[in-house]
Structure 1
């Protein structure tokens, strides 16, 4: 019994646990059952079992390859799809969220019926088809938005509330449709699994039929009968037992998978029925609300806040119109009264203006005469002044010349006096005839000195005379040149004055013409002045009328100011109330937004929880079925274990169980004595410090303990 081989583990790549038994010369030992009669049948059955197992492995491989191909086909364009979705939603993420509201605002209430879930055919197509699908969705969104901007219309608050409710119901419907599509996908997957499990179940039934064949039963009987002997106890029934065990396990797994799939399918069918019922309920509510929106009655409009507000505004406008009509009648009477007063005042102002104009005309004529007389006197005085200035300039020039001539005469007198003095000297004169001069060689030194001094004096006198004559000549020549220049200037002045006279004559004639033109212009201006006086009188009348109207308008303005002050006070109170209402409205809006966000979050959480709940229910049903099958299998194996128990098994169990506690198996050996116990008994002895073997009472240490595997 101890030579029976244990079945190999799951690790087929591990080396064999035992070497093949060989003889001394290296040849393999003959099979222990080689001399048995059923050896050929056994080999044939083993080959058939191996072939069937290989076919099972091949079918499993084909199934796995098919699933792998499907997954590979689905995930081929997965990354491209994600990139396209990311690029598309980066510019159109808001469109889909607002699409239902846009269609409701436009009035396209049946547009939601055309909603279709994500087509499963796109999972096996390339990115081009996926982009075309997104492009079609974008066209739908763009058409809805163009309809919105193409037909704007004002809607009352009640319709807006109904539209918001419809949009919420549409969103819930979309969520249910998505969940329904997801459930359908799961249903399809479960159907595929059910078909696979059914196929495996049928194959397992075939295997079971093969196992229950007469040959197999005969071989089993032979194996059981041969197992009692010592030589064939571990070999005769080995392959048959393993094959039947494999077939039964495969059948059990197939049946288990089939029941799990059926339970999951039933639970998903219940969920699908519940979702369809909810969908029908929501569709009915949406239809009712759409009919109510499209066929609103006058009572519905009269119940709205907008109608009440417009009605109150209309009543206020009617009251204001009546007040304005009464004020208009009063103002018209006052205007007629003021018109009569203005006509009387205008007639009076015209008479006064005519009298003042006549007086102003007489004063103007007298002023013009005085102006002409003053201008004539001014011209005479200017001419006299010019003549006097010219005479004065000429007399001043001649006086300067006289001074220069007097100075020249004085110099001439001085020259003549020096000449007279020179002539009156004693040495050189005798009736005007000079005395004969003695020769120089015959003269003495004193005579020479005397003569030299005389000559020196004469030379000095001549020098002085020459200087005076030079000065006189210079002054005389200067005066003569001045006279010449003066004459030349006079001639030029005469020529220039002649030219200026001709120019002055031309200017005189031009001035006369200009004077005539000015006189004509003055006459024209006088005519215009008369007309202007009339216009001034008219403007004065208009001014007086305007003043009267201004006075009346000031009175009206004062009255309107008082009214405006009253209305301003009322408006301030109303504005204060409006501000309070606006503040309250903003707070309510913020609360509504928060509640919407909370509602959306709760809806999302509810959807997630419901989806998780449905998945959990499906898994629970599958686990329940698995638990039932496991319990049934456990009961079966217990019965088999109790039925197949024999004395040999009891003896083997007694050998394997610890002889101290009779509970655990032997797994620890004491090296000092070689006895085998369980680890719990040895640990108890270590804790109680009684480290002795219970069989031989031999002491051992902690290092003498070694774990073994039976």
Structure 2
């Protein structure tokens, strides 16, 4: 908005001549200078208003920059979020990176694509139900508010136009008041003395250098008094007409001000009611949106928990299957190794048994030979000793624990074998010694002891084999029990696996149901968005048509108002002109048809207003160097003809020294 014109400064003393004296060159120069000053003041007022507008525009641009910065930050945050969400979409990532790294022009160019991407993610992530009747009413109210907003904007434009028209009208009035208050204008256009006919002819026939000085002589006292009286009456009549015109315009402006004030108050009440209704609708929409978001969060959390439980059960099941396979493989390997070891041991025992039987047969044959050689009493004594020894050893063996391990038995066998070897070596040694003393007896005793030892070792090996067979049977029984336990564990695991499969099937069915519901909701959202877009387009077209209609109506009303004001002003001017013509006619009739005074005034006016070179164009171009005023065509013709001197004072000037003035 431009400011009002500044108050006028104190009037300058132009050194004007007495109104009773003829118009001089000094008066004309003062008139031209004051016209230049009025033009300069007008441009100064415009400059101040433009400076004020520039200041307001700077503040608005700063606010717009702040809003742009906040919006750009919000867009970059949204681009970062969408970049995280769309990791598989290469085009979306490229678009988000361009928005994050580009400047404002690139962001503005990609605004449509980014809006489509955001709407896509919103339609995928935000489920919503069908439009409820409350939402339909809210949308209807929103459309009504948008229509009211368009109407108010059109009315605001119309009010701005009317305000600018009023401002121009007041500026014109102030300019006219400045001209009316000007002494130089009053001195030039309202002469107090009449001009003579002879001096007027001399002024028209004078050279261009002396046409700016106007000289005349006074006529009779009666004519002067009559002319001054008539001019005074005409001036009073003009002032009265202007006052009436101003009163009429003031009444129109007051009525228009009252109507516009009432309209503004009504619009303010409508705006407050619209704002309150829009706030209520926005609050309800926000509450529904929050409820839907909470429901969506709950369903997503439940789905995530079900997927986690499903993954946990699957991992446990796979781990148990792997452990079962490892345990069965390990058990089968251990059983196979134990079975192979037992088979090898049985084969070795069978070989030992065959060897022992062969030695037994040899010993029996030797014993038979010895029995034939020895007496029966010695043989019985030896047998009794052998039996005693066997009983002692059997008792010792029975006293030992039956539950000795295979390693202990093998160790004992090795110790026995080692002892047996040592004993045999010792016996051989003794036997060799005894042979030297008693060849045949010692030989038989040694053979008898060997037979006893072999018999005893055979008995001991038989006992160890029996013990080992018992241990193997116990191990087999334990392995059977372990196999039964593993079978029971397998049954329990199978039942658990079945229950887990049931839970997995249930979770999958729930997930499918949720996916189907989300797809249905997304389809509903897409349908609703398409319907909303169509309705928005229809509403926008209707609003545009309504705004155009409102603007056209407002324009027609303003045209009608301006035409009415122009009509009233023209009527007043017509009535004033008729009154002035009647008065002039009366004055002419009273003076006997003498119009020489008016002709002289017209000639003086022509000499002041029209160019002194061509006498047909208005003076509208001033020379800055000397202040003389001519028409624009004459100045250009003189510059084109290289006549670069003022026709009045012969001062040189150029095209840059010309200044446009408005008389």
> How would you bin the TM-score normalised by the shorter chain?
0.3 to 0.5
- Identify the structure with bigger relative contact order (alpha carbons < 8 Å, sequence gap 6+): 2
Larger Rg: 1
Could you tell me the TM-score, scaled by structure 2's length?
Answer: 0.37
Could you tell me the TM-score, scaled by structure 1's length?
Answer: 0.35
